[in-house]
Amino acid sequence: MAANRRPPKLCLHKPSGNARCWINGKEHWLGRYGTPECERRYRALIAHWARSPAETPPPPLPLNRVTIADVLAQYLIEIRGSDSGSKLRSNARWWLARSMAKELESLSSVRLTDLGPKMFAAWVADVAGQPIQRRGEMTTRTITHVRKIVAEFLRMIEWCVAEEIIGPEKLVALRAVRRLPVAAARPPEFRTPVDEAKYQTICQHLPPAFAAIVTVLRHSAARPSEVLRMTPAEIDMHSEQGVWLLFPNKHKTMRYGRPKCVVLGPRCQDAIRPWLAGVSTGDRIFTPASIARVSSASSIPTRKYRKATLVAEDIRRAVKIACRAAGIDQWVPYQLRHSSLTEFRQAGGLDAAQQQGGHSSSAVTERYAAADRSKAIAAAKLVG
């Protein structure tokens, strides 16, 4: 049988707008799709393939021809690695890189050698002042988000230096811009604890399974992903102190090699206990099947889930619908972590809140657990 001599096709990668083709199982990125530079590179690659079909190393690109779109495409591949779509869904670094890629469309055709501090500063100013739609209103990004995008861009330049695509002098030149022009962006919005009355109202409108999840979030300071992944095997129910100890197999700081323990008090135990019946040791406690198993006449309608697991977005959506049904201001489930850690700090001090939150530094805990102003008021009455 004769070997297949059909030339490899030039394909469009829709998320990034770049062109790519596969030769002998290897992926080659050729820059912005439809540009003359892309066509030139594709023809050079095919000519190389025609000469030696069995071995096709990518043709080297001169430094003065490498564009930001070229390195961006390779950088996204580097971040993605071998992760599947389900893993990328919870990869914050991937979504931040995608957000950066969208903002770099205006610089996609700029050669990397032409990018200087002034052009970099102008791009930052454009990102900060770019209008976006948020909750039906036109506004700008927060200063925090703009700084995250800029930091990710500098990490991409660092990666280019490590891959010897450019020299380190380019990174030094871009970092010379000390005062980033982010004045057009709006101030950051800090999450605050949820009002207790609003929390109680929402629990009455949520389906029983969602209400149990929200109750555990409120009184344990655990992250939504940790509660949704919770299995009976991760819970030590035989503690001598009368509490349950949750040891999540997967959590946010596990990449640093730090174990985490979440203490579950009586309220959390009462919320979890009814859902343990019929659940195997290694299965998740809260699933779409749990929602369908128990219904309530006063709860909001829920959609039919085709998947076997729940994610944090499902909880956020349910709380949003319940807030709308109750006619109160919308809040997000992650604010319950602030409420719980603030309560832990008031009851047991900063050390208790730090331990429950799984923070290595008390400075991080202070961002979640607000200081008790009533103590300052009492002190002021005595010495002020």
Q: Is 47 exposed, middle or buried (0-12, 13-18, 19+ CB in 10 A)?
A: exposed
Residue 2 predicted with pLDDT over 50: no
Strand, helix or coil at 5? coil
For residue 187, what are the CA distances in angstroms to 97, 141, 160?
22, 9, 32
Q: Using CA atoms, how far apart are residues 28 and 171, in angstroms rounded to an integer?
A: 26
Residue 21 predicted with pLDDT over 90: no
% residues pLDDT > 90 (the chain): 28
306: left (phi over 0), alpha (psi -120 to 50) or beta: alpha
- How far from chain centre, in Å, is Cα 115? 29
pLDDT tens-digit readout, 82-103? 677 667 776 778 888 888 988 9
276: Cβ contacts below 8 Å, ≥ 6 apart: 232, 285
Q: Are 234 and 262 in contact (CB under 8 A)?
A: no
Structure tokens at 138: 């036109």
pLDDT tens-digit readout, 117-126? 999 999 999 9
Q: If you average pLDDT over residues 325-339, what whole number do you get?
A: 90
Model-wide pTM > 0.75? no
Q: Residue 29: pLDDT band by 50, 70, 90 thresholds?
A: confident
pLDDT of the residue at 176: 92
Q: Using CA atoms, how far apart are residues 222 and 262, in angstroms rounded to an integer?
A: 7
Q: If you average pLDDT over residues 13-32, what whole number do you get?
A: 78
Selected residue with higher pLDDT from 3 and 67 = 67
Structure tokens at 199: 């929390």
